[in-house]
Amino acid sequence: MIPVVSARPSCSFCAILAGTVPAHVVHEDASVVAFLDHRPLFPGHVLVIPRDHHETLWDLPPALLAPVFGVARVVARALVEGLPCDGVFVANNNIVSQSVPHLHVHAIPRRRKDGLKGFFWPRVPYRDDAHARETAERIRAAVVRVRQAGGSSGGGPLPPASSA
């Protein structure tokens, strides 16, 4: 585990980064970690966070903008390639509807007619920890494939490969 420069003891995401709370990590590098949401809208729902504790998008230093959203871009593509989904919803809440006050970007696999309408979304949990682990492994492998392929067409360069 790469150390966190700034952490908050009361932050559950900082606890994940410190290794005191378990998570199914699908990507980690010196600046950014991505892991499965423990209360997913759908299996494969990933949260992308900076290692340093920043609560909102406007608190995020400009130097971390490209690393965080670059990883969100890779994860979104990896969801399409690694899971059975038609597309990906990428979102970031700031204060309102932000259940953990640590900046995080949601990457949520979507399927046509998946039942999501507006913002009244049901949560579909993992069957069990084995299902979460298998889903994380599929996404992790797809992240590697997407990075090796140079990402999707039309975008800029990808962030450096994970050391995980």
* Mean pLDDT, range 46-64, rounded to an integer: 96
Tell me what pLDDT residue 153 has.
37
Confidence of residue 119 (pLDDT cuts 50, 70, 90): low
| Residue that is written with structure tokens 């559950």 in the block | 12
* Domain ranges across the chain: 12-113+121-149
Residues 40 and 62: their CA atoms lie apart, in Å, by 29
Phi, psi of 109 (to 5 degrees): -65, 140
Contact 39, 6 (CB under 8 A): no
* Mean pLDDT, range 129-145, rounded to an integer: 94
Order of strands, sheet of 87-91, starting from the edge strand that comes earlier in the sequence: 25-28, 32-36, 46-50, 105-110, 87-91
Tell me what pLDDT residue 48 has.
98
CATH superfamily name and code, 12-113+121-149: HIT-like (3.30.428.10)
Composition of the chain by helix, strand, coil, percent to 5: 30, 15, 50
**pLDDT for residue 162 is more than 70:** no
Q: Which amino acid is at 77?
A: R
* Mean pLDDT, range 15-22, rounded to an integer: 95
* Mean pLDDT, range 151-161, rounded to an integer: 46
**pTM value?**
0.80
| pLDDT tens readout for residues 68-113 | 999 999 999 999 999 989 999 999 999 998 999 999 999 999 999 9
